[in-house]
Amino acid sequence: MFYNNINPVLVSIGSIEVRYYGLMYVLGAIIFYFMIYSLSKYTKRPLTKDETAELIIYMLVPAIICARIFYVVVYNFAYYLSNPAEIVMLWKGGLSFHGGFIGAIIGGYFFCRKKKIRFYQLADIAVIPLSLALFFGRIGNFLNQELYGRVTSVPWAVKFRNAEGFRHPSQLYEAIKNIIIFFVLLSLYLKKKLKEGAVFWLFVTSYSFLRFFIEFFREPDPQLGYILLGLTMGQVICIIMFIVGAIFLVNIYKRK
């Protein structure tokens, strides 16, 4: 068993703090930029460095907005209904991956329309560095001692500072999931044996499928708990996400 005594603050200068959590997301964004730029060279419409930077802005802004809206509406609506001023207080936490993913898709779609690029041509390569960025994001969650797992007695259980008992390091389970998805998708994409759009929807189905089972080890959101048949909100959303992904994946291979 392991005591997580890691200080989440790397450097503190007066009231300014540099946290490992933030650094992980910065690292993820840098990796996303360089990988998108490099992988686009394998397509018929490579991106320039300026277009790659523009794409990140197109995806990042709606991703943050939708991640917040999704969290407010789906995960903690009653609280924010009573405290509407806190909706814009992003520094207090409260972003949903599923909402952020939807926002990134919307932003990427409009970028593709502007640049006259086929959506799936870009989406197939975008989910590859996204998987790697999510890996670093979950490492950041672990260092920040948040989104921890349920109480357990397994030998690798972790004691987090603000949680009772030893817990599953579910953040690390998710990190492992994301790095596996990254290598699988990268390998499949480079082999060029899949139809356009297949890599994107494989990300959707594999992410939702694996996260559904990891959620059994993660502590449910305290304000929601278990909402349906002993499942968490995250699991319910993963089921919907998987079904949608599977339908689109089947349709891709039905088309001639």
Dihedral angle sign, alpha carbons of residues 86, 91, 97, 103: positive
For position 168, what pLDDT does the model report?
A: 96
Q: What average pLDDT does the structure give for the chain?
A: 91
The whole-angstrom separation of Cα 203 and Cα 184 is 10
**Residue with the two structure tokens 């899949």:** 194
pLDDT beyond 90 at 48: yes
Pinpoint the alpha helices (H) of 170-232.
Answer: 170-191, 198-214
For position 195, what pLDDT does the model report?
A: 93
For position 256, what pLDDT does the model report?
A: 62
Question: DSSP state, 43?
Answer: S
Strand partners, 206: none
Is residue 164 within 8 A of residue 204, CB to CB? The reply is: no
Question: DSSP state, 196?
Answer: T
pLDDT beyond 70 at 1: yes
**pLDDT grade, residue 19 (50/70/90)?**
confident
Chain segment 66-85, per-residue pLDDT in tens: 999 999 999 988 889 888 88
Chain segment 74-123, per-residue pLDDT in tens: 998 888 988 888 888 877 778 889 999 999 999 999 999 999 999 999 99
User: What pTM does this model have?
Assistant: 0.92
Lowest-confidence region among 113-127, 133-147, 191-205: 133-147
For position 151, what pLDDT does the model report?
A: 95
pLDDT beyond 80 at 20: no
Percent of the chain with pLDDT over 90: 66
- 3-class DSSP state of 159: strand
CB atoms closer than 10 angstroms to residue 79: 12
For position 44, what pLDDT does the model report?
A: 85
The whole-angstrom separation of Cα 243 and Cα 245 is 5
Chain segment 202-246, per-residue pLDDT in tens: 999 999 999 999 999 999 988 888 988 889 999 999 999 999 999
Question: DSSP state, 147?
Answer: S
Question: How do the domains of the chain map onto residue ranges?
Answer: 2-45+118-191
